[in-house]
């Protein structure tokens, strides 16, 4: 039986920043670097995400100078709710007490390479997934060469329509997958995984396609441990779909 916990690649990131522009730009940069990113507009929203189980980050990037709960108080509250690495982020120096309370610091603006370097220096968090096979490369959220081929062969509006259809179809299949898990319908789970893999691979949505391929291969037999991972499978697919949507918004600005 394949191990469900042996496949995802870079750690999940929860980004907490009250500045909308900084938050969205940074989230897009990290997504394009291969990270799965959840965002929160302030400390209270981030704590609510963690309490509800809607985010399970291995890395938390937090602006420690925000209205409401912030600074050391926020870092301590996050530490109580998550085992993820806590990195303070700011456009300027932070107080010493914040530096001591965090696992590291990143000066804004920064990119995905800076985050990887910090993880190497501070010790990587527990990675929920590793590459499927030794030496296998991390799948991009979107293969830009596929997007370029579409743009060369058809009008931009048509390309936009194709990806809108991909996102809509994916959302429906994830809902169907959730229902199939509840029924413990292993054949439906594999069928949905196969459909996600095929459709998303054709569109160059490699990260989502990888998850679909995993769903197709894993043995989801009644009573198996794999079925206990239902919530995580659905959450990871929704996160990957969100990554794809964020990247497409950057490619097709309104």
Q: Cα Rg for the chain, rounded, in angstroms?
A: 19
Tell me the domains of the chain and their CATH numbers: 4-122 (3.40.50.2300), 144-251 (1.20.120.160)
DSSP string, the chain: ---GGG---SPEEEEE-S-HHHHHHHHHHHHHTT-EEEEESSHHHHHHHHHTTS---SEEEEESS-SSS-HHHHHHHHHHH--SEEEEEESS---HHHHHHSSEEEESS--HHHHHHHHHHH-PPPPS---SSTTPPPPPSS-HHHHHHHHHHS-HHHHHHHHHHHHHHHHHHHHHHHHHHHHT-HHHHHHHHHHHHHHHHHTT-HHHHHHHHHHHHS---TT-GGGGGHHHHHHHHHHHHHHHHHHHHHHS--
* Mean pLDDT confidence for 7-13: 64
Q: Give the mean model confidence (pLDDT) for residues 109-134.
A: 61
Indicate whether 221 pLDDT > 80: no
Q: Is the pTM of this model over 0.95?
A: no
Lowest mean pLDDT among 50-59, 102-111, 228-237, 239-248: 228-237
pLDDT greater than 70 at residue 216: yes
Tokens of 44: 């209270």
Please write the tens of the pLDDT for every residue from 181-212: 888 888 899 889 988 988 888 889 998 998 99
Q: How confident is the model at residue 224 (pLDDT cuts 50, 70, 90)?
A: low
């Amino acid at each position: 039986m394949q191990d469900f916990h042996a496949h995802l690649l870079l750690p999940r990131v929860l980004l907490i920043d009250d500045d909308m522009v900084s938050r969205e730009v940074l989230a897009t940069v990290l997504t394009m670097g291969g990270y799965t990113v959840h965002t929160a507009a302030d400390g209270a929203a981030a704590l609510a995400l963690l309490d509800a189980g809607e985010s399970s980050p291995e890395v938390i990037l937090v602006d420690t100078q925000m209205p409401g709960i912030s600074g050391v108080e926020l870092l301590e509250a996050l530490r109580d709710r998550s085992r993820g690495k806590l990195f303070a982020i700011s456009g300027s120096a932070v107080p010493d007490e914040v530096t001591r309370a965090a696992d590291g610091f990143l000066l804004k603006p920064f990119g995905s390479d800076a985050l990887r370097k910090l993880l190497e220096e501070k010790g990587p968090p527990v990675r929920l997934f590793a590459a499927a096979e030794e030496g296998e490369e991390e799948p991009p959220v979107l293969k830009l060469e596929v997007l370029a081929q579409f743009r060369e062969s058809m009008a931009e509006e048509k390309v936009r329509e194709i990806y809108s259809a991909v996102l809509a179809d994916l959302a429906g299949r994830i809902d169907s997958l959730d229902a199939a898990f509840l029924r413990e319908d292993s054949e439906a789970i594999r069928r949905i995984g196969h459909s996600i893999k095929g459709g998303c691979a054709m569109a160059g949505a490699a990260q989502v396609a990888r998850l679909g391929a995993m769903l197709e291969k894993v043995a989801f037999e009644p009573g198996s441990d794999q079925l206990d991972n239902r919530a995580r499978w659905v959450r990871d697919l929704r996160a990957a779909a969100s990554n794809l949507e964020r990247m497409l918004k950057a490619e097709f600005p309104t």
